[in-house]
Amino acid sequence: MAPLFPLLLIFLLPSCYSLPLCTDSRYPVALNAPLTFCGFANGSSSCCNTTNDDAIASQFKSMNISDSACASVVKSILCAKCNPYSGDLFNVQPNVRTVPFLCNSTVSSNNFCTTVWNSCKDVTIKDSPFSQITPGSSSKLTDTYKTEGDFCAANSGSSGGQLVCFDGSSASFNSAQTSLPPNGLCLERIDNGTYINMVPHPDRSNRVFVSNQAGKIWLAAVPDPASSGGKLQYDEADPFLDLSDVVHFDNEFGLLGLAFHPSFPTNGRFFVSYSCDSSQSPSSCSGRCSCNSDSNCDPSKLGTDNGAQPCQFFSVIAEYSANSSSSTPSEAKTARPIEVRRIFTVGLPYTTHHGGQILFGPADGYLYFMMGDGGNDGDPFNFAQNKRSVLGKILRLDVDNMPSSNSVNNVTLWGNYSIPKDNPSTEDSGLLPEIWAFGFKNPWRCSFDSGRPSYFFCGDVGQESYEEIDLVTKGGNYGWRVYEGFNLYTPPWSPGGNTSVSSINPIFPVMGYYHTNISKVGSASVTGGFVYRSMTDPCLYGRYIYADLYGTIWTGLETPEASGNYTSTLIPYSCSKNSPIACDIVAGSTSPSLGYIFSFAEDNQKDIYLLTGKGVYRVVPPSLCNYTCSKEIIPVSPPGPPSSGSKLESFLGEVLISMLAYFVFLLSFCF
């Protein structure tokens, strides 16, 4: 029955997502002036400014609503666009609703939908947001909907598992009872290799691509989770692509990111992010320095770092293609060793904090590139807050529409890509057009929640005291180096100037930990993870798993669900009794010794992996480590082989029981 579980999940998983987010995918900001019409106070968080407030007032006035009760509810509905959760109440662009999801008795204790119906059903409204008639026309609710049931079915979102609704004054969360933290994380060791990237094959098979920091990429097959004893299958002597001759591998340098185009099975395109040394490969490793006049930086003032000259080393994104005929790229066992094109090249000021991860957005298909602040103690040149620098940023690039040669030759771009039309620079001309979010020190391992793609998590490595997990939104400023975590930060030296606290609207971490909370005081480094969406350990479902480099693991739970408010819990871990490779054990303990936790990974079945200094570990059912999980369905072996006449009954019974169990399980997370 195991192969059916992912299929059942596809059909039963509701589309539930939310966090403080505006309809343009931006994070709400603190108001500098009150909204006089919608009633938001100065300093409160809102998705509107005074211009938006005036526009809503004009829209309301033009509706010419004669009934005071109806006018009151319509005003509140229009002003819901200013609510910090308007992105979920109305959906985000380009599919923004004209009316927020209204609370009703089926999904909330509040029945605002009935209030709206009773107040407005017979009232004439010009350009009603509830109607799709010709602009300038007037209508009543009863012109479009026959009954209250029809109206609320169309406007409450109850059938789609909506987690947030509008109750007439604010966002209301349909929160379920908080579940207890899992008893532990059960791991099996499936390989001894050291990798920092594992990416699922876009063909949805059990295959993955793994890469090491030195520059080699392998095509591998993960073992069937339904059977124990399987190992990661690949030929170490036959890599998919070997870039070790172009990659500079040392400390924080190397092959750092790997991303396959969403259409890889048909176009064969994939992308590699790596470091190169211009002193060793001057012809292939060259480009613009990140410290330049556009960012108000003079390379001559940087000085050397560990013997390296400023911008001696570069971060590169290069495109490659599968080595196969154009009709069968997904069947390719190797890649062509010559790069197709250079997507991005930037010179690094120092020898640390490079970020380097790349991934495609599941909803928009754009390439996201995580860039660190360039290094040195405390980001002395304030690159992370500099809107004209690519350092300390998350960049968002369109690699499907190539730019004109003039754009590249005139040094307006950093390579061969174009700018998505909805990048934040369209509304903030001060930002470089590539920037999606900024204020990061060294983003290390980011992921989109496969169950709620609007949730984009990034681990950001701290400096002296705090390691953070951020929920990244369009145009968001994540504080570094004005803040480290929740605390104001003062750099030891600042030749590049400072950013004042009052000039920014920082977005603070949703999870994280102080260095004093772990055993390696002063040596902490966060490793971002994934929201667990597998059925393998149902007690982990919906929790964000992340770790410290030195081996501590946490899970984070959003409470109430859809609020963006998280609580983190330390979680112990053990080695499965059926692990195909015996785990090393910490001396004097029963816990496995993982070494450094470099990265997490997710396969096509949504199972989670830990990529560590001592191999690849997969999360397996908790019962294999004697952890109790009330939601786990433990298969029971039959006493003997069934007769041929009972096999069909047994199979159908298993299908029905599994469907019912998982449907009830999923509903418990969304209602």
User: Which pLDDT tens digit goes with each residue over 186-203?
Assistant: 999 999 999 999 999 999
3-state secondary structure of 250: strand
Instruction: Clarify whether residues 128 and 257 are in a common domain.
Output: no
Ranges 157-166, 356-365, 533-542: which has the least confidence: 157-166
Nearest alpha carbon to residue 222 among 240, 211, 214, 210: 210
- Whole-angstrom distance, CA of residue 593 vs CA of residue 586: 5
Instruction: Clarify whether residues 252 and 165 are in a common domain.
Output: no
Residue 663 lies in a domain: no
Residue 323 lies in a domain: yes
* Helix axes 4-12 and 644-670, enclosed angle (nearest 10): 40
Residue 316 lies in a domain: yes
Q: CATH number for the domain including 237?
A: 2.120.10.30
Amino acid at 211: S
Nearest alpha carbon to residue 103 among 120, 123, 117: 117
Instruction: Clarify whether residues 412 and 557 are in a common domain.
Output: yes
In percent, the amount of the chain with pLDDT more than 70 equals: 89
Residue 434 lies in a domain: yes
Tell me: pLDDT of 650 over 80.
Answer: no
Tell me: pLDDT of 289 over 70.
Answer: yes
Question: Which residue(s) pair with 566 in the sheet?
Answer: 558
Residue 643 lies in a domain: no
With left for phi above 0 and alpha for psi between -120 and 50, is residue 278 left, alpha or beta? Answer: alpha
- Of 160-169, 400-409, 441-450, 514-523, the range with the highest mean pLDDT is 441-450
Tell me: pLDDT of 646 over 80.
Answer: no
HEC profile for 516-532?
A: HHCCCCCCCCEEEEEEC
Q: How confident is the model at residue 159 (pLDDT cuts 50, 70, 90)?
A: low
Tell me: pLDDT of 110 over 80.
Answer: no
Number of domains the chain contains: 2
What is the overall mean pLDDT for the chain? 90
Residues 6+ apart with CB under 8 A from 45: 20, 28, 29, 30, 31, 84
pLDDT of residue 177: 56
| 326 burial level (CB within 10 Å; 0-12, 13-18, 19+) | exposed
Instruction: Clarify whether residues 444 and 494 are in a common domain.
Output: yes
In percent, the amount of the chain with pLDDT more than 90 equals: 77
Structure tokens at 161: 């598992």
Tell me: pLDDT of 47 over 80.
Answer: yes
**Angle made by CA atoms 517, 523, 527, in degrees to the nearest 5:** 80
Instruction: Clarify whether residues 98 and 191 are in a common domain.
Output: no
3-state secondary structure of 462: coil
Query: Which range marks the domain in which residue 124 is found?
Result: 14-173
Q: Which residue has the higher pLDDT, 11 or 207?
A: 207
Instruction: Clarify whether residues 126 and 213 are in a common domain.
Output: no
CA 535: distance to chain centroid? Answer: 20
Q: How confident is the model at residue 520 (pLDDT cuts 50, 70, 90)?
A: low
CA 139: distance to chain centroid? Answer: 42
Nearest alpha carbon to residue 378 among 300, 467, 333, 441: 441
- Whole-angstrom distance, CA of residue 468 vs CA of residue 526: 7
Instruction: Clarify whether residues 620 and 487 are in a common domain.
Output: yes
Report pLDDT digits (tens) over 123-144.
Answer: 999 999 998 777 889 999 999 9
Structure tokens at 132: 């799709």
Final residue in a domain of this structure, among 625, 641, 664: 625
- Whole-angstrom distance, CA of residue 495 vs CA of residue 600: 37
Instruction: Clarify whether residues 141 and 221 are in a common domain.
Output: no
Instruction: Clarify whether residues 164 and 223 are in a common domain.
Output: no
Question: Which residue(s) pair with 418 in the sheet?
Answer: 398
DSSP H or E segment with residue 114 = helix 112-120
Final residue in a domain of this structure, among 121, 151, 173: 173
| The total number of residues written for the chain in this structure | 671
Instruction: Clarify whether residues 406 and 264 are in a common domain.
Output: yes
Residue 653 lies in a domain: no
pLDDT of residue 560: 85
The answer to whether 504 touches 382, Cβ cutoff 8 Å, is: no
Residue 647 lies in a domain: no
Rounded mean pLDDT, 608-630: 97
Q: Which residue has the higher pLDDT, 25 or 358?
A: 358
CA 359: distance to chain centroid? Answer: 10
The answer to whether 482 touches 507, Cβ cutoff 8 Å, is: no
Final residue in a domain of this structure, among 146, 173, 200: 173
Instruction: Clarify whether residues 158 and 198 are in a common domain.
Output: no
- Whole-angstrom distance, CA of residue 409 vs CA of residue 474: 29
Residue 7 lies in a domain: no
pLDDT of residue 660: 46
Instruction: Clarify whether residues 209 and 142 are in a common domain.
Output: no
The answer to whether 439 touches 479, Cβ cutoff 8 Å, is: yes
| 493 burial level (CB within 10 Å; 0-12, 13-18, 19+) | exposed
